[in-house]
Structure 1
């Protein structure tokens, strides 16, 4: 029995050894990699995946180079649109002023070339987010804030059912809070200074355009105070009524009701929708800044407190701001002011030798050399003869010709005086005398230079 087991074990050991030797000495078959199952991916996909991996690891320039190679080498690839969008995302992730500018342009190009793709809404939102990230405080440059407002409004109007609509609305509310805060600060400055007209213009724009602004009730209160100090107190009651009706939970409501009663105006009932909106605003969670980070906010250019107090509920304003703002005083030349939207500006056209007069909205001002004001006419001499009077009224234009091609600007000089010919003859002689004086001065200066050189270099 033992011998049988020993023989069986020995045989099994020999068989296994022979198989191992066969596997060791057997040659591996060559596999054609071009036709293998592992190499079924397209070359454009391989290039795209490699570029995306580079961007993910922070090698943005290498990734963008590979993506650009994909676009140039495979113009009909299915990854063409994704490559363009990935280039824009790479610029956006790298951040910086120059990179953000490149990202905005790349996103806009994607929206233009691929308007019907679902990624077009994402590209439009990224354009707005690029401006949003560069937005500064309310008292600084507002270019990026206004651009962000325009782009967010465009996104919400073009893609109303997009999944990212809620995010865009919240960012738009924050942007409009920053813009409204800037106008409110300017209006408040004019209000304290006592310039009622300028303060009324700024505050009225804030209250009308940004109803979700956190200080809209204060703007309405100051407008009521401004109009209450004038003769037209009915306008003040209108603003007080808006506080009671549209901002029923505001701390200024009791004072507004008191002013309405003092003015003899009816006190309106609060709007139920406004009550629900302000209740939701009070219960909405808001981010808080720690005590350690609060002092650092003075050294940052981005808004901080404004983003925290911005509204969390309600539809933001989607209408773009109009280019024409009626009532704005614009300083024109000659210390003349005009208001946009009403009337036309005064255009002064200087015409040498022309008659002064207005045609339509333009005013032709004759060039003067005697120190008189432009556009003023010298009164005609009542003792002048009829011929002289006719020439002063415009009949003697030929007699008003000037000597030696220089236009004569005296409006009352319609007749020739006896001394004009003598003056004309004396002019060339006077010019020659002046030229002679200049030549003498030049000779004198050159002689002085020569004497000075002789003192320095005697030979």
Structure 2
């Protein structure tokens, strides 16, 4: 027992010694205060205790923790209470960030409104480019796949273009350009799918319109070579349709076929010269050889440019396809990462425009080999000599109403007296300076140009049984005939003069 009690006492003493050493080690040395108060200067950016800074920091902490309502409340309180604060610009931008991070259609719409208000109030601030970039990102996050609604993709393209044009010196320009390439990849993919569908249905006009819009608007599209190849195939399909079309003359058929094949060869050659490193360039070469056309050689600059574009594109992998099935947005891994994206849309190619081009080709094929139509000629003037290839106008009458009466004006001889030319229907005396015998143009017709008097039309002959006016006796007899009774109808009726009327038709006598 004594040994056990001694051991317990030794252990207790050792534990007390160790606890005292640990407590002494935990004690901290007091800090020495500095001679100046750091909270007195709000611009020192070190331990600032100004109320606007306190509210801003509190809002930022709440924003990082996902408490967006609290963050917006603190930021709005700071903006309303301290309108002249140095943090008002960052606070205004942070309000939009809170809506942007919250997500959802309604929150993103509110975030867009806040960002655009910030650009309106602070257009020259460096943060304005960031706000415009966030507006593009709002639509970028809501983009659908190429075969779905494309309105968000169009809005994203417009906002990114606005950001690049408004803030060309911003450090966010490279990121904005890459986002724009991704958006244009989606839009180009949509147009290409529609064009290929039309081509599969042999609607070559609509297919050409869609595919030409792709190659003209989005040159950095990863499948531009395929789009150009499809354009050539569509023109080749039209050439084949001309060969089998009925009711077309042989010469016209051959000319139309050659014109459409020329357009197809132009599209194939463009694949070789613009995208020499693309996957479908060999297909374009084979088609040109099959058409007995020369295969062009691309320039070194085109080879280097397209090689850089192809190397910047990453092919789609199995994981990309699997993720594309799950996620909502499109897969843009194939988009190029080099080159300048198009900042302005050229005029779209429409199907009616392609139809008009085809009609012009048909007209040119119909008119080839025919003589050109004569140019429209204008008639000669009244005082100009007549020409054999142009009609002449009717000579104008003199302003005073005179003339020869036969539609020809007399032109005096060079030695004649212009003032002695007779006017109207007066006869011209012989031997005078204005004698028609001395005129360059003689009148055609008789010398006596006096018009005959106008004949009065003959009176119409009197009609039978018509009453002649002018005598009162005739009028009286007519009145008496109306007043006769029905008994006297037999006396008045006569088969030679007038048919019987009424009851008289029943009397055989």
Name the TM-score class by shorter chain: 0.5 to 0.7
1:176 CA displacement:
0.4
**How many residues matched?**
295
- Aligned to 2:185, the other structure's residue is in SS state helix
1:269 has 2:294 as partner: no
The answer to whether the Cα contact below 8 Å between 1:139 and 1:182 also exists between their aligned partners in 2 is yes
TM-score by length of 2: 0.54
How far 1:298 moved relative to its partner? 2.3
User: For residues 300 and 79 of structure 1, do their structure 2 counterparts lie closer, same or farther at Cα, with a shift above 3 Å needed?
Assistant: same
Select the residue among 136, 142, 166 that pairs with 1:128. Answer: 136
Q: State which of 194, 205, 218 in structure 2 corresponds to 1:197.
A: 205
Give the RMSD, CA atoms, in angstroms: 2.8
SS at match of 1:319: coil
What is the CA–CA distance in structure 2 between the aligned matches of 1:301 and 1:36, rounded to whole Å?
Answer: 53
What is aligned with 2:401?
none
Alignment of 1:192-231 (within 5 A): 192-228=200-236, 229-230=238-239, 231=256
SS of 1:309's partner is coil
1:260 aligns with 2:272: no
2:341 to 316, 319, 335: 316
TM-score (norm 1): 0.59
**Deviation string for 1:362-396 (max 9, x for gaps)?**
xxxxxxxxxxxxxxxxxxxxxxxxxxxxxxxxxxx
Task: Report if aligned partners of 1:153, 1:320 keep a CA contact under 8 Å in 2.
Answer: no
C-alpha deviation, 1:215, in angstroms:
1.1
Within 1, Cα distance between the matches of 2:169 and 2:141?
24
SS in 1 for 2:333: helix
**Structure 2 residue aligned with 1:436:** none
Q: Which residue of 1 aligns with 2:169?
A: 161
* Structure 1, unpaired ranges of 5+: 1-32, 331-337, 340-459
> CA 1:186/1:136 → structure 2, altered by over 3 Å: closer, same or farther?
same
Contact 2:205 2:351 in 1 (8 A): no
**Offset, 1:223:** 0.7
Aligned to 2:153: 145
1:19-418 to 2 correspondence within 5 Å? 41-228=49-236, 229-230=238-239, 231=256, 232=259, 233-263=261-291, 265-284=293-312, 286=314, 291=319, 294-304=321-331, 307-320=332-345, 325=348, 327=350
**The 10-residue stretch of structure 1 (309-318 or 141-150) with the greater mean CA deviation from structure 2:** 309-318
| CA displacement 1:75-133 (0-9 Å, x = unmatched) | 22221111110001111111111111111111111111100001111111111111111
Do 1:111 and 1:120's aligned partners in 2 also have CA atoms closer than 8 Å? yes
SS at match of 1:254: helix
Q: 1:108 to 1:320 in 2, by over 3 A?
A: farther
CA shift for structure 1 position 285: 7.0
Name the CA shift for 1:82/1:227 in 2 (closer, same or farther; >3 Å).
Answer: same
Q: 1:215 to 1:162 in 2, by over 3 A?
A: same
* Other structure's SS at 2:170 match: coil
Q: Decide which structure has the larger Cα Rg and report it.
A: 2
How far off its partner does 1:60 sit?
0.7
2:413 is matched with none
**Once the 2 structures are TM-superposed, how far is the Cα of residue 265 of structure 1 from its aligned partner?**
4.3
Using a 3 Å threshold, how does the CA distance of structure 1 residues 39 and 139 change in structure 2: closer, same or farther?
A: closer
Which of the pair is proportionally richer in strand?
A: 1
> Secondary structure of the residue that 1:308 maps to in structure 2?
coil
The whole-number CA distance in structure 2 between the counterparts of 1:259 and 1:289 is 30
Counterpart for residue 425 of structure 2: none
Distance 1:235 1:178, change over 3 A: same
**Within 2, Cα distance between the matches of 1:263 and 1:206?**
25
